[in-house]
Amino acid sequence: MKVTKKIVLSENDMPKQWYNIVADLTNKPMPMLHPGTKQPLKPEEMEGLFAKGLVEQEFTTERYIDIPDEVRDLYRIYRPTPLVRASGLEKALDTPAKIYFKNESVSPVGSHKLNSAIPQAYYNKIQGIKHMTTETGAGQWGSALSIACKHFGLDLDVFMVKVSYDQKPYRKSVMRTYGANVVASPSNTTEVGRRLQAAHPGTSGSLGMAISEAVEKAMTQPDTRYGLGSVLNHVILHQTIIGEEAKKQMEIAGDYPDVVIGCFGGGSNFCGISFPFLRDNLVGGKQTRFIAAEPASCPKLTRGKFEYDFGDTEGFTPLLPMFTLGHDFEPADIHAGGLRYHGAGTIVSQLMKDKLIEATDVEQLESFEAGVLFAQAEGIIPAPESTHAIAAAIKEALKAKEEGKEKVILFNLSGHGLIDMASYDRYFAGELKNYQVPEEEIAKNVAKLEKLA
């Protein structure tokens, strides 16, 4: 029997609302704390840093939030994205499992990040904000916010983690083409950047450091707010459009996933594809498994601790209750730059604590091996981040083969790797290696955290 390769929704079938899973959780996430007073953070205390509309979404307990028309209009440039049956990968693995992937790589910036960049720029614009600041790791978030800001007439400063700035020169070009100002972080343009360089001579930077710089700039310049590409509740909310679409598409395909997989940096694409399905577990009696695939070199969910921790290196952000490796953790320079972050979002951390989701870790070499197999079987070269989800999906498909079971696997292809070919070249040259984080290093960094959880 011929399988349907691609399930495409019409523009009119694009979801009109984002889904907020907090409404359906019995154990709500613990509150964020003010970094100074250690008291639960009040919405108005966040409004100096983020646009009001986003702060409101950060705290909301409403189940569904309407997507503004201006945001839907821009989503239409690339949404709804296709759901694809990975028939080539199934054949290559000779597995009885059915594998589907949601193809977020079709967005103009090549990743899911635009799903949150567009609404973030929109809520800043309608408040009268003129400038935004942000950080970027691999460059995907920076690219997405660059074009989103351009759409709404805002200007943008991007602090790009130095290792990526050097390794991924074309991401800089993309951001500049969209009109953003890009600097390598830590930089000399902020006080904290200068301090970090003095304290860590020759540092290759980290997302935590870049966030500190972007936050400082947003707090010290008028009419400026900051935008974050992952971790926070409002970002996760925006990304649920992935799962809402995928649910409609799986229904058309006549299947329902037994397991849903996403790679995991701060959680936005994993949560985005998972939460609309997880709702069926919470309120509909389904028993789908949800697997977050993280790099072995930055294993916050599999080996981190649940504690209150800062989102950045300097302790400027609120304290978040999360699985963390400690905000001083300096991840190895792996090529999946978007996954080099020390912590996980608060909702997803609570879900992990309550065993409603699972996590697995993937070695760098295994991730590239999976990426190459996928590229050859499906024709799409995946982002180094996305290869972690592919590796986890392959593991599940091979397990199904061993057990002789049919199983439906859905994973999110968070982005393509066409701007990351230097990483693939290094993989083929045998220059990449695996990194194991020693237990003492995690223990040392987590021990420095104040025990508030």
Ligand X SMILES: *Cc1c(COP(=O)(O)O)cnc(C)c1O
Residues 210-239 touching ligand X, rule: CB under 6 A, are: 230
Q: How far are the Cα atoms of 7, 100, 127, 242, 251 from residue 255, in angstroms, in the given order?
A: 12, 10, 43, 17, 6
From 414, 423, 442, 449, residue interacting with ligand X (rule: CB under 6 A)? 414
- What is the per-residue DSSP string for 93-133? HT-SSEEEEEEGGGSTTSBTTHHHHHHHHHHHHHTT--EEE
324: enclosing H helix or E strand: strand 319-324
Q: Which is nearer to ligand X, 197 or 374 (CB)?
A: 374
**Per CB under 6 A, 269 contacts ligand X:** yes
**Per CB under 6 A, 339 contacts ligand X:** yes
Q: Which is nearer to ligand X, 90 or 385 (CB)?
A: 385
Residues 237-266 touching ligand X, rule: CB under 6 A, are: 263-266
Q: Which is nearer to ligand X, 268 or 297 (CB)?
A: 268
Q: How many residues bind ligand X (CB under 6 A)?
A: 20
**Per CB under 6 A, 385 contacts ligand X:** yes
From 111, 233, 349, 364, residue interacting with ligand X (rule: CB under 6 A)? 111
Please identify, among the stretches 154-162, 325-333, 370-378, 382-390, the one whose residues bind ligand X according to the rule CB under 6 A: 382-390
Strands 98-103 and 83-85: antiparallel
**Per CB under 6 A, 386 contacts ligand X:** yes
239/233 Cα distance (integer angstroms)? 10
CB 19 within 8 A of CB 275: yes
Structure tokens at 191: 């006080």
CB 182 within 8 A of CB 172: yes
CB 342 within 8 A of CB 331: yes
Residue 151 half-sphere exposure, CB side, CA atoms within 13 Å?
A: 22
Q: Which is nearer to ligand X, 214 or 263 (CB)?
A: 263
Please identify, among the stretches 210-218, 282-290, 353-361, 379-387, the one whose residues bind ligand X according to the rule CB under 6 A: 379-387
Q: Which is nearer to ligand X, 50 or 141 (CB)?
A: 141
Please identify, among the stretches 181-189, 278-286, 321-329, 380-388, the one whose residues bind ligand X according to the rule CB under 6 A: 380-388
Q: Which is nearer to ligand X, 233 or 268 (CB)?
A: 268
Residue 238 half-sphere exposure, CB side, CA atoms within 13 Å?
A: 28
**Per CB under 6 A, 415 contacts ligand X:** yes
From 79, 113, 247, 305, residue interacting with ligand X (rule: CB under 6 A)? 113
Residues 279-338 touching ligand X, rule: CB under 6 A, are: 338
**Shortest Cβ distance from residue 447 to ligand X (Å)?**
26
CB 383 within 8 A of CB 98: no
**Shortest Cβ distance from residue 109 to ligand X (Å)?**
9
Pseudo-torsion of CA 425, 431, 434, 435, nearest 10°? Answer: -110
Burial class (CB in 10 A: 0-12, 13-18, 19+), 155: middle
Contact residues for ligand X, defined by CB under 6 A: 111, 113, 140-141, 230, 263-270, 338-339, 383, 385-386, 414-415
